[in-house]
Amino acid sequence: MRSRLRPGIRLLIGLLVLSALALAVQAPSALAASTSAPSAQPPSVKAQSSPQRVVSLDLCMDRMLALHADRAQVAALSPMHRRFPLPWPLEGWPDHDGSLEQVFSLKPDLILVGQHNALMLRKRLQTLQQPVELVTLPRTLNDIEAYERRVLRLIGRDPDDAHPAPAPRTPAADAPRLLLLGPNGIGTGPNTFEDEVIRQAGWRNYLTGVRYERLDLERVVTDPPDAILWHSPDAQALATRFADHPALRHSLTPEHWLPKENWRWQCPGPWTWELIDQLRQQRQRHVQPPLAGPSHPLSHTLSPNVRTP
């Protein structure tokens, strides 16, 4: 009798041991699940709170943070903001040196970068599971509002603070022609963001061919535009030879060489509306009577630690 019961007892003991082992294996998983379960809620909480250690990796994000972010929530701007400063002071705003080590050491909870910038740095940060957000820069005037709303949302501000694009405007058939002149005699033509800015301000673009064109000096001298928009650098350089040519300088009077604030052209953004108003005023002042229609009511408020230029 005893010999007949032993196999059954052994089987029962084996089943009990296997059950105990199974429970032992499942316990850590259950504990991990129980400890990770609350983390399913923070995304909604996090979405409602403002990031407190924001880092920028490029110039355009620097300017959006300077415009909209609270100084206290910015851990660092990019080193580019010192090379291309804004016309209002940013004393006391921290910056990083562009190295992976320093950006990582800042322990950011949000890293902003444009889609074409800091490619290697942002890939390495993403590999380290850092909170990198790629922000697509506007390609048209209509894109600016969505761009501004996204940045506002990311930094915990009200997206409704973004400024809508004005109604598209078409320059008159006899509107003055403006040449946007760049370094090395390169002019900006149609189907560009700059062309939209020029046309929205009531000018016609002097160039009507390709998007970017190497200018022919003889053509410009014999058929000069009504005005040239050009930023004259502080020092002489080979890139300025075309603009400095005496024949070109004599083709237009000095008042038709319009000053250019480079910072407004370097990055598209809410300040583009001010740029358009500025160009419209220059057209009215230098060329012909005002174009009918109201200017864009830019009423944005800069962050408390930044003064309006």
- What is the per-residue pLDDT across 261-302, written as a single tens digit (0 to 9) for each? 888 899 999 999 999 999 999 998 865 543 434 444 443 444
Q: What's residue 275's pLDDT?
A: 94
Q: What is the pLDDT of residue 144?
A: 97
pLDDT for residue 233: 60
Whether 137 and 190 share a structural domain: no
38 is a domain residue: no
Q: Residue 260's closest CA among 248, 247, 245, 243? A: 243
Q: Within this chain, do residues 63 and 156 fall inside the same structural domain, yes or no?
A: yes
Rounded Cα gap, residues 228 and 74, in angstroms:
39
Q: Please give the structure tokens belonging to residue 42.
A: 């923070």
11, part of any domain: no
* Same-domain pairing of 151 and 195: no
Question: CA-based angle 36:41:47, to the nearest 5?
Answer: 130
Residue 275, CA distances (Å) to 171, 204, 251, 266, 269 in order = 16, 16, 26, 12, 10
Phi, psi for residue 271 in degrees, rounded to 5: -70, -10
One domain, residues 135 and 189: no
Check residue 234 and give its pLDDT: 55
Distance CA 296, CA 244 (A): 34
Residues 116 and 184 in one domain: no
| Model pLDDT, residue 262 | 83
| 225 and 139 together in one domain | no
For residues 96 and 125, state if they share a domain: yes
Q: Is residue 69 part of a domain?
A: yes
CATH of the domain at 98: 3.40.50.1980
Handedness of CA 185, 188, 190, 195 (dihedral sign): negative
Q: pTM of this prediction? A: 0.74
pLDDT for res 273: 95
**SS3 at position 108:** coil
Task: Report how many domains make up the chain.
Answer: 2
User: Residue 180 is encoded by which pair of tokens?
Assistant: 């946007």
Query: Is residue 235, in this structure, part of any structural domain at all?
Result: yes
Domain assignment present for residue 6? The answer is no
Quick one: 32 exposed, middle or buried, by C-beta within 10 A (0-12, 13-18, 19+)? exposed
Q: Residues 109, 213: one domain?
A: no
Residue 226's domain comprises 177-286
135 domain-assigned: yes
The segments of the chain whose pLDDT lies below 50 read: 1-3, 5, 8, 11-12, 14-48, 289-309
What's residue 184's pLDDT?
87
User: Among 102, 132, 161, where does a domain finish?
Assistant: 161
Tell me, yes or no, whether 7 lies in a domain: no
Say yes or no: 120 and 188 in one domain: no
- Cα–Cα nearest to 281, from 295, 267, 268, 270: 295
Within-domain flag for 24: no
Residues 105 and 79 in one domain: yes
Asked whether residue 189 falls in the same domain as residue 154, the answer is: no
Q: Are residues 157 and 181 in the same domain?
A: no
